[in-house]
Structure formats: C-alpha cells, structure tokens
Amino acid sequence: MPARAGGEAGRLPEELARRLGTTDAVVVGLSAMIGAGVFAAFAPAAGAAGSWLLLALAIAAVVAYCNATSSARLAARHPESGGTYVYGRRRLGPLWGYLAGWGFTVGKTASCAAMALTFGAYAAPGLERPLAIGAVAALTSLNLFGVRRSAGVARVAVAFVLVVLSAVVVAGLAGESKITFGWFAYAPAPEPFLHSPFTADGVDGWGVLQGAGLLFFAFAGYARIATLGEEVRDPARTIPRAVGIALGVTLVVYTLVAATALHVLGPVPLAMSPAPLSDVVRESGAGWLVPAVGAGAAVAALGALLALLLGVSRTVLAMARERDLPAALAVVDPVRQVPRRAELAVGGAVIVLLLVADLRGAIGFSSFGVLVYYAIANAAALTLDRDEGAPPRPVPILGLGLCLLLAATLPLSSVLAGLAVFAVGLLLWVVRHRGLGAS
C-alpha cells in the first residue's frame, strides 16, 4: 500500500511536483466555475425559481460555501491528488472514499464529453463531434506537458471570458428594465411554467430549491483546486485561500450576470431563452456583441473541459494508488511529474464516449453524483478536530443537509440514473473485495 501524504506516513513514492501557487490555483478554480454554464444555467434556473432567481443563487452560494470550506480544510490536512476520494477514504473508510471517487470519475467523464460537445456547438454548429474530439485530444496533450502550462492556458481563457461577461453586464444594465426589482414582482406564467412561482402570490420553496440545485453545479469547480492538492505549493495555506478567492469572484460574477438577465429580459423570457446572454445583449441594443458572447461561451467550455480533465485524471491517479482502479494508472512521469497514464486513459475514455453517444442530454446522474460527492466531503470534515483545522461544526452539518436536500429536488430521472451508477460501482466493489478475500 502506498505511503500517505499530508503528514501521515511520509511522501508518496511517485508524488506529483508542487508547482502551483495561489494565483495558479485560483485560475484553475475559476476556469472550472466560470465555464459554459454561466451562458446557459440561468434559463433553467429561472424556469424553476422565477423572479426569485437571486434567492436561489444565494442558497446555491451558501451550499457552495459550506462545501468549499469543508473541502479546503480537508485538502490542507490531506494535500494529495484525489479530493473527496482521499478524504472519504482517510476519514470515513475505504467504501465511502470509493463511492465518492466512483461517482466523480464516472459522472465527470461524461461531463467532459458533454462540455466538449458544447464547445463544438458554439464554435462550429454542425461539426460538434469532430471539434469535440479534437479539443479533448489537444487538451489532453497539453496536460501531458505539466500542470503549470495548463494553468497558463486557463489564465488566458478565464481573462477572455471575464471580459465578455463584463461587456454583457455593462450593455444589459445600460438598457431598459423589463422587471421591477423586489421580491414581490412576478410575471404572468406561460404554459410551460404553470406550476412555477410565477403563478404564486408568495415564494415557491420547491421551485427555489430546484433553481438552487441547478445553479449549485456552476459553483462546484472549486473541487478542482482540492483535487490538485498534491501539486499546490504550501497547501495548508494556499488551498483555503485559493478556494475562498475563486468562490468569491464567481459569486460576484454570477450575481451580476443573473441580475442583469432579470433586468433586461424578466423571468419568463429568461426561462424560455435558449441563449440567455445573447438575448440580453440583443435586447439591450448591443447586438454586435452576440458573436463575442458565442466566442466567450466556446472559450469558457474549453476552460471548463481543461479543468475537468485535470480533476478526473488526478482522481483516477488516487484510486489507482489504492488499487480501486488498475495500478498501472498510478505511474507518474519522472520528467514532467504528471500522471501520464491516468491523463491518457481519461482522455481516451472521453473520446470513446464522444464516438458512441451524444451525452449533452444524458448526464443527469452527474448532478446527483456531485451532490453525493460533497455530502461525503462534509461528513469527512465532521471528523476533523480543532488541532486538524476543523471548520466551525455548523458549516459541514449545514453543507451535508443541504446537499441531501438539493439531491432530493432533482428530477426523478436524474436521481434514478445516479442511483443506478452508484449501484454498479457498489457491485464492482463487492466483486473486487470478494476476489481479494478469496485470493
């Protein structure tokens, strides 16, 4: 069994190089959080929460804060690759770590394929699949040259996307408002939203929670910082700082974009828009920005894909070290100090998915898996004591409860698909351990 990092039993035999500073870690987190979702997530969230979209965003931010705090404290204590897979295994037992790693790896591999298709759809409609395969191959090759180079590309992508979003906000707030701000302002409900809060005299709590669940996943990219814990310099200090900065910047950006979209479109048109931010600039009289919005969405999708590939490959590395995946995937390149085999395996798996399936509408289990992943992270944080840097106890308790609550608000198809994925993983776990016991 490999040695433990994080002060438990020395260095890992093939430990990755600690090359990321605070700025690099923040950029990786931002590239994952301010991805293509910011260009599309507010439409379905508005369909659920209506005029209470900002309240749904606030709830999502609270959940994200709890999860981020728990993850950051655990990452500082266990600065290894693998994120919640490592924390669950160390703090709760091998099975809980395995379930977190399994759900993350399977769900996020599918998310990689979906994000690659999203890039292709924005970059050249009609050529989505070949462009998606090319993007995965190119970014996987980039990652083989080292995490610093990947972080440098992510920095350029994040800067461009922030410039585009800033232009959308400025153009939108300069336009004429379509909604009177205030928690009492509601728009008439169109047919698809007869059971939405648009028709109520007060807030529809279930709709707001559904909206929060949809928006929460846009915040979930701070996990990429934790999964890269073995490659961050001075992790006990850098990871909590980087997570806090990335989450704070993302919350500000999302709040401004959501408020602008409500200001320009109003909740019903926002909910029905297939391209909300393009509609925002068009309605604001800045139609010339529409191509820039499309380019921003394509670049954001690439940045999110880059961060996803990094995160999944590091979780695969951690699982291979513990023999939950083939041990051959645990090899670290001695020159560039990257998990070359894990990265190639993840990139290859994504390309295979792109060749055989269109996963843009078939990854509901990924959402369910993310919430289970963070529920396990919060449960693991509850085992930290004060000397280990435990967060205030209400934080992981609230995070755990809200993760389970938001999971319950997901569409039934997503919940059933998620349960099926975890059932398959559990079956594989049982078969593997019976095999080990028999040997």
Within a domain: 284: yes
Instruction: Please say whether the beta carbons of 25 and 225 come within 8 A.
Output: yes
Q: Considering the domain boundaries, does residue 139 fall inside one? A: yes
Percent residues over pLDDT 90 in the chain: 21
Give Cα 235 to chain centroid, integer Å: 21
Structural domain of 85: 22-438
What average pLDDT does this structure show over 152-157? 82
Does any domain span residue 15? no
CA distances from 413 to 23, 362, 363, 364 (A): 39, 10, 10, 7
The number of distinct structural domains making up the chain is 1
pLDDT of amino acid 165: 92
Residue 9 is assigned to a structural domain of this protein:
no
208-266 pLDDT, tens digit per residue, is 888 888 787 777 777 677 766 677 777 778 878 888 888 888 889 999 999 999 888 88
CA separation for the pair 71, 355 (Å, rounded) = 34
What's residue 399's pLDDT? 93
Q: What are phi and psi of 153, to 5 degrees?
A: -65, -40
CB 178 within 8 A of CB 265: yes
* Look-up of token digits 């990689």: 112
User: Using an 8 Å Cβ cutoff, are 56 and 48 in contact?
Assistant: yes
**pLDDT tens column, 60-103:** 889 888 988 898 889 888 877 788 999 999 999 999 999 999 98
Altogether, the residues listed in the chain come to a count of 439
For helices 53-77 and 205-219, the axis angle rounded to 10 degrees is 40
Residue 4 lies in a domain: no
pLDDT score, position 378: 95
**Degrees, nearest 5: CA angle 321-366-337:** 30
Query: Cα angle vertex 153, ends 150, 154, to 5°?
Result: 85
Q: Is residue 10 part of a domain?
A: no
Mean pLDDT of 319-338: 83
Q: Is residue 1 part of a domain?
A: no
DSSP letters for 295-325: HHHHHHHHHHHHHHHHHHHHHHHHHHHTTSS
Domain with residue 277: its CATH number is 1.20.1740.10
* DSSP notation for 17-45: P--B-HHHHHHHHHHHHSSGGGGTTHHHH
Helices (H) and strands (E) in the chain, counts: 17, 0
Specify if 213 maps to a domain.
Answer: yes
CA-wise closest residue to 107 among 303, 311, 345, 250: 311
